[in-house]
Amino acid sequence: MLRNNFFPCLTAICVVLTLVFLPTHTAFANEEAENHNEQGDAYYEAKKYEDAMKEYTTALEIEEKTDKDKEKISMYQCNIGWVHFNLKKYDKAEEIFNAALANDSDNPNAYRGLATVYRE
């Protein structure tokens, strides 16, 4: 009798633990992604583009693995696109801005990025 009740109890415990800890992990990951993005912004403003690229890429990777918020992914992609633009890697910038639009077709920063690339 004990053996028959063990597995349903174990399943219930796993479900409860998942419900309790998963949102916390996702919230932490979102905060971590935002922190990397903010650090990237600081590097970008200081014209330390390679450092900014690392931070923006880390933010993007975290977002893609956890929350998968298309608007945030698009925003992080645009940040990476602007770094490529400032490094005069126009083809790569164009590719990244287009990827940003694929994730969020309403992102004005991606359209602005493409327009700026096309003027070069």
pLDDT per position in the chain (120 positions), as tens? 445 554 454 455 544 445 444 444 445 558 999 999 999 999 999 999 999 999 999 999 999 998 789 999 999 999 999 999 999 999 999 999 999 999 999 999 999 999 999 998
Instruction: Give, in degrees to the nearest 5, the angle at Cα 11 between 10 and 15.
Output: 120
Query: Can you tell me the distance from the alpha carbon of 11 to that of 16, in angstroms, rounded to the nearest whole number?
Result: 9
Residue 108 belongs to what domain range?
A: 2-119
pTM: 0.76
In the chain, the number of structural domains is: 1
Question: What one-character DSSP code corresponds to residue 36?
Answer: H
pLDDT at 32: 92
CATH number for the domain spanning 71: value is 1.25.40.10
